[in-house]
């Protein structure tokens, strides 16, 4: 079965603060409800802490069990948040990537979600990631965010 990469395309009309990070949280919550184990790969530690905070701010009935990479817990949480240099090695079903490049560990996942921001420079980087996945033989799709 071919590996899959789904790219969410954002428009300039988005007025929400931190639209990519909020979408990543929503997608992680949806995947968790389907029984998937998720890794959210952030650009840096600051973004990882933002994702952590956004997940904690959800309504109690929308709570998503999660942890930052390196946090000690007695069990593997369904959603892990990592950044360069800080990632646990547990197996996960889905990678939600906020990284500007294809993470070197993306090949370990059967499914990856990527984001195409409205900003032209960031959009160009997303196009490069799309090309890389295509060259690797992944099944690609896009969806409006």
Helical packing angle, 19-33 and 45-56, nearest 10°: 60
> What pLDDT score was predicted for residue 16?
79
- Does any domain span residue 83? yes
- Does any domain span residue 3? no
- Does any domain span residue 1? no
Total count of domains within the chain: 1
Can you give the residue range of the structural domain that contains 85? 8-12+16-144
pLDDT in tens, 33-91: 999 999 999 999 999 999 999 999 999 888 999 999 987 666 779 999 999 988 877 78
Q: How far apart are CA 10 and CA 117, in angstroms?
A: 5
> What pLDDT score was predicted for residue 93?
97
* Residue 124: CATH number of its domain: 3.40.50.10110
- Does any domain span residue 131? yes
> What pLDDT score was predicted for residue 71?
78
Q: What percent of the chain has pLDDT over 90?
A: 81
Cα distances (Å, whole numbers) of residue 108 to 4, 58, 90, 95, 144: 12, 29, 11, 9, 26
Q: How far apart are CA 56 and CA 124, in angstroms?
A: 32
Whole-structure pTM value:
0.94
Residue 30 has pLDDT above 80, yes or no: yes
> What pLDDT score was predicted for residue 75?
72
- Does any domain span residue 2? no
């Amino acid at each position: 079965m071919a590996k899959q990469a789904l790219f969410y395309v954002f428009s300039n009309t988005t007025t929400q603060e931190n639209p990519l990070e909020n979408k990543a949280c929503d997608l992680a919550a949806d995947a968790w409800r389907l029984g998937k184990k998720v890794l959210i790969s952030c650009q840096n530690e600051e973004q990882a802490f933002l994702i952590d905070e956004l997940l904690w701010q959800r309504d109690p009935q929308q709570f998503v069990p999660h942890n930052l990479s390196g946090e000690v817990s007695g069990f593997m949480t369904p959603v892990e948040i990592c950044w360069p240099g800080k990632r646990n090695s547990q197996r996960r079903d889905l990678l939600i990537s906020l990284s500007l490049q294809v993470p070197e560990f993306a090949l370990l996942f059967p499914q990856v979600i990527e984001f195409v921001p409205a900003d032209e420079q960031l959009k160009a980087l997303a196009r490069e990631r799309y090309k890389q996945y295509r060259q690797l033989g992944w099944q690609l799709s896009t969806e409006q965010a």
